Amino acid sequence: MRTPSKIVTASLAAATVLGLALAQGNQPVVGLITKTDTNPFFVKMKEGAQQQASKLGARLLTAAGKSDGDNAGQVAAIENMVGAGAKTILITPSDARAIVPAIQKARAQGVQVIALDSPTDPPSAVDALFATNNFQAGVLIGRYAKAMMGSKPLKVATIDLFPGAAVGVLRHNGFLAGLGVKNNGQAITDKLTTQVSGGVVVCSQDGFGDQAKGQTAMENCLQKNPDINLVYTINEPSGYGAYQALKNAGKEKDVMIVSVDGGCNGVRGVQSGVFAATSQQYPLKMAAMGVEAGVQYAKTGKKVKSGYTDTGVTLIAAKAAPGVPSRNVQYGLANCWGK
């Protein structure tokens, strides 16, 4: 049986020895650790990192957790990459808090660590964060849903990520804020430790960003409340799962689904009517910026400017909503995953 410390991609294992030699030859070595190697978002991020590494003459080491939430796999990847000579590690942390000790250990050895897409908790655990404003991504689809639903009484299902995941909390809270939901009479904020719901939310289930699990989550929600008329999903794979559950129940035409990612397949979902709207983010940009910062550090010893860099988010909708800025499907397809 494989131990968690060995849950890394085969490419990392093969690259470790080569990475040591390349590091000695002064070729910049940059590591990229994603949450999984199956989610289309992270697949595209990896492609973007490889393209930029090739362009800048760097060696890219890659690894991923076995599944979203696999902190042990990411810890093992950090340790292996440090041993392989990586001077910069780019990571999309699965567990914002649990990964921090491993990051601190790497930084103490002179490794620059940059978070992509997802913040650590605390954010200062890394040298910098290149990411979508995930709270704003949620706000955009919340505002859109509110405008399109009008005065219709809302019965909302949220298909979330998993408890405590920073990205999941930010998008969930942003969606409810955009929808105008209050938390005990107070405005909803982007505080990472707050997973809130309101009276309009009749069901919340975790879909782990996965299509099959998203379908199961939606089926559970329909059993709990068959009158759901609005669904928020953490990302488009879970959104497609929710749509399949609705279709199986004969309800797909009666329920609005909004989501986040804006991947090519997700934008096609907007085009076909699976989704009413999605918030598009740009993993290619995140990856390219991260690799560029890694090469600069390897060559000059100068670390990237600390803090958060917003890599942008755009609402993609087939039909514009009054007062809610958006772009059409054609724009979404032309810019899916990067611009």
Following DSSP, what letter does each residue of 101-129 receive, concatenated?
A: HHHHHHHHTT-EEEEESS--SSGGGSSEE
Predicted confidence (pLDDT) at residue 107 exceeds the cutoff of 50: yes
Q: Which pLDDT belongs to residue 339?
A: 63
In the predicted structure, residue 13 carries a pLDDT above the cut 50: no
Higher model confidence: residue 182 or residue 4?
A: 182
Average pLDDT on 247-259 reads 97
End-to-end CA distance of the chain: 43
The string of pLDDT tens digits covering residues 275-285 is: 999 999 999 99
Q: Tokens standing for 209?
A: 């960003």
Structure tokens at 146: 């509110």
* 35, pLDDT greater than 80: yes
How far lies 84's CA from each of 21, 37, 91, in Å? 9, 20, 16
pLDDT at residue 93 greater than cutoff 60: yes
Quickly count: other Cβ atoms within 10 Å of residue 301's Cβ: 10
Residue 193 has pLDDT above 70, yes or no: no
Confidence at 5, pLDDT banded by 50, 70, 90 = very low
* The predicted structure's pLDDT at residue 40: 87
Query: To the nearest whole number, what is the mean pLDDT of the chain?
Result: 90
Answer whether residue 21 shows pLDDT above 90. Answer: no
325 prior amide bond cis, ω within 30: no
The confidence score (pLDDT) of residue 338 equals 79
Inter-residue contact 208 to 69 (CB < 8 Å): yes
| Mean of pLDDT values over 124-132 | 96
pLDDT bin (cut points 50, 70, 90) of residue 182 is confident
At 166 the pLDDT is 84
Residue 217 pLDDT greater than 80, yes or no: yes
Question: 153: pLDDT confidence band, cut at 50, 70 and 90?
Answer: very high
Give the mean pLDDT of 74-90. Answer: 97
- Of the given ranges (188-202, 209-223, 233-247), which has the lowest mean pLDDT? 188-202
Q: Are 274 and 250 in contact (CB under 8 A)?
A: no
Neighbours of 14 (CB within 10 A): 11
Instruction: Quote the percentage of the chain above a pLDDT of 90.
Output: 79
Looking at residue 4, its pLDDT comes to 42
137, two tokens: 């991504």
134-148: average pLDDT = 97
Asked whether the predicted pLDDT for residue 8 surpasses 50, the reply is: no
Print burial letters for 268-298: b (CB count within 10 Å at least 16), e (below 16): bbbbeebbbbbbbbbbbbbbbbbbbbbbbbb
Higher-pLDDT residue of 26 and 137 is 137
pTM for the complete prediction? 0.83
- Per-residue model confidence (pLDDT) at position 1: 41
Q: At 54, is the secondary structure helix, strand, or coil?
A: helix
**Domains along the chain with CATH numbers:** 4-132+283-305 (3.40.50.2300), 134-280+315-335 (3.40.50.2300)
Greater confidence (192 vs 90) lies with 90
**Cα–Cα distance, 296 to 205 (Å, whole number):** 43
pLDDT value of residue 222: 98
234 confidence band (pLDDT: 50, 70, 90): very high
Task: Of 10-19, 39-48, 181-190, 215-224, give the lowest mean pLDDT range.
Answer: 10-19
